[in-house]
Amino acid sequence: MDITSSIDGEVAVLSIAGRIDFATSGNVEHAVTAAIEQGGKRLIFDMREVAYVSSAGLRAILIAAKKAKSAGGGVAVYGLQPEVQEVFTMSGFGKIVPIVADDAQARAKLNA
């Protein structure tokens, strides 16, 4: 898995490629912590290159949402592949974290 992050003011975009599972979910948590420490309390996950998400991956995103909320921000996700979208849908995760079509919608959802 590869994570690239860019921070612009309060907005941090985390572009993830690969699999988010038990072995890699800690990397997501570390990237989120680093982004928030640098002032990025509105987190946008670009998941266009994510092929698989396990329950550990969902947990990492949930932790990110809680950290962002406690920092006064929030989280939005976009670019879900069909298999990943199915995991989010079946788990009801879309009720917790906004799932949108693109970066612009994510920024609008987060008022960024």
Query: How would you class 96 by CB atoms within 10 Å of its CB: exposed for 0-12, middle for 13-18, buried for 19 or more?
Result: middle
Q: What predicted TM-score, i.e. pTM, was given to this entire model? A: 0.94
Task: Tell me the H-state helices in the chain.
Answer: 25-37, 55-70, 82-91, 103-109
Q: What is the pLDDT of residue 94?
A: 87
Delineate the domains of the chain, giving CATH numbers in brackets.
Answer: 2-109 (3.30.750.24)
Q: What is the pLDDT of residues 18-64, one digit of tens each?
A: 999 999 999 999 999 999 999 999 999 999 999 999 999 999 999 99
Give the strands of the sheet with 2-8, arranged side by side: 2-8, 11-20, 42-53, 74-78, 99-100
CA–CA distance, 50 with 81 (Å, rounded to integer): 7
